[in-house]
Amino acid sequence: MDSLTSQKCVACKADAPKVTADELVELIKEIPDWKPITEESMLRLRRVFEFQDYSSAVQFTNKVADLAEQEDHHPAILLEWGKVEVTWWTHKILGLHMNDFIAAAKTDLIFNQ
Amino acid sequence: MDSLTSQKCVACKADAPKVTADELVELIKEIPDWKPITEESMLRLRRVFEFQDYSSAVQFTNKVADLAEQEDHHPAILLEWGKVEVTWWTHKILGLHMNDFIAAAKTDLIFNQ
């Protein structure tokens, strides 16, 4: 995962390149717990993280929110009892940017710490 | 809203009564910004709260999480940039319990503070 987690999200413009299907196939190998899903016609990366109690889920939510501010890239974080579902995508390009893979890999790092 | 916010969620068993349609019509008047929605065949209460920045949305998320622990009743909290969507329902009875209206009213109170 070093290759993704050592990178930082870059400012993303509307004409920035979407990740191609070939790139997606390669990149997803580095974050195998994430699923590419399509919602509202936009490709996104989603992973559900499970927790034994609510406070651990809340703490994880806050750490991912801190990451979002550091990277200036903000996911959807769905907090419920015992689980947190994180979804990364890039609204500006209506799909997946390299930033989303970097952010997903860093989310895994937070979970595994 | 006093009548709802002055109450506390009670321990809820699987045979606890669902809120009836008549009760729903009356109770929703006390929390007019909440919409009854059906998802996965379960009636739920949902409201989207908007914020000018991410940190305010994160702070609100944490306050609602604190409320959840106090009431021992846990909603779905969807945190994105500039908004937090809160959904209350009672999984044990597969629908809406009086607890959900109490918790929704208290969520409004947190937002308005």
Task: List chain B domain ranges.
Answer: 18-112
pLDDT band at B2 (very low <50, low <70, confident <90, very high): low
Read off the pTM: 0.95
DSSP A22-83: HHHHHHGGGSTT-EEEEETTEEEEEEEEE-SSHHHHHHHHHHHHHHHHHHT---EEEEETTE
B81 touches chain A (CB under 8 A): yes
B74/A61 touch (CB, cutoff 8 Å), yes or no:
no
- Tell me how close the Cα of B53 comes to any Cα of chain A, in angstroms: 11
**Chain A residues within an 8 Å CB radius of B84:** none
* ipTM score assigned to the predicted complex: 0.94
The minimum CA-CA distance between A74 and chain B, rounded to whole Å, is 6
Over range B22-47, report the average pLDDT. Answer: 96
> Which residues, in sequence order, are bridge partners of residue A76?
A87
How many Å apart are CA A93 and CA A99, to the nearest integer? 11
According to CATH, the superfamily of the domain at A18-112 is Transcriptional coactivator/pterin dehydratase (3.30.1360.20)
Distance from CA of A113 to the nearest CA of B (A): 22
Tens of pLDDT along B48-106?
999 999 999 999 999 999 999 999 999 999 999 999 999 999 999 999 999 999 999 99
Instruction: Render each residue's pLDDT in chain A as its tens digit; 113 residues.
Output: 458 999 998 888 888 889 999 999 999 999 999 999 999 999 999 999 999 999 999 999 999 999 999 999 999 999 999 999 999 999 999 999 999 999 999 999 999 99
Give the residue on A whose Cα is nearest the Cα of B74: A81
- In chain A, what residues touch B78 (CB-CB under 8 Å)? 76-79
Interface A-B: count of C-beta contacts within 8 A: 46
Contact A77 B76 (CB under 8 A): no
